[in-house]
Amino acid sequence: MKKPDKTENKKFLYSIGEVASMFNLKESTLRYWEKEFTQLKPQKYSGERKYTQQDIETVRKIHYLLKVKKLTIKGAKAEMKRRHSNILKNYYLYEELQAIKKKLLWLKKIIEENA
């Protein structure tokens, strides 16, 4: 997932399905995270969850802690309380490094094919 571009035209509210798709998660996972993380509280309109950009950033933090750093729920909760502001910075750094790694592997393959 790339760092959001501040100039992109963004929707104001997203459905649970749209957010789940952004992070390759099941909707039930997002509902579970809502119960576990007090920071994640999407609004409900006519019984449907609607996520704001702030909610999506919270999901991004939780996703990074649980899926990338492989923390437990308990560990992720503690991390959210302890270093709330650095989590997204680390997430974007991780994403940039993954992109660089992908490019380097591609270059390695090209070099090996031409050697």
Give me the number of domains the chain comprises.
1
Note the pLDDT of residue 9: 53
Give every CB contact of residue 14 below 8 A, 6+ residues apart in sequence: 22, 50, 51, 52, 56
Q: Assess if residue 37 is contained within a domain.
A: yes
Q: What's the confidence (pLDDT) of residue 7?
A: 43
pLDDT above 70: residue 8: no
CATH at 63: 1.10.1660.10
52 in any annotated domain: yes
In a domain, residue 9? The reply is no
Question: Does residue 64 form part of some domain?
Answer: yes
86: three-class secondary structure by DSSP = helix
- DSSP H or E stretch at residue 50: strand 48-51
- For the stretch 77-106, pLDDT in tens is 988 887 655 777 777 888 889 899 999 999
* One-letter amino acid of 13: L
CA angle 32, 37, 43 (to 5 degrees): 75
Question: Domain limits at 56?
Answer: 14-114
Tell me: the pLDDT tens digits for 39-75? 999 999 888 999 999 999 999 999 999 999 999 999 9
The upper half-sphere exposure of residue 9, i.e. CA atoms within 13 Å in the direction of its Cβ, equals: 0
- State pLDDT tens for residues 12-48: 899 999 999 999 999 999 999 999 999 999 999 888 9
- Round to whole Å and give the CA distance between 7 and 10: 9
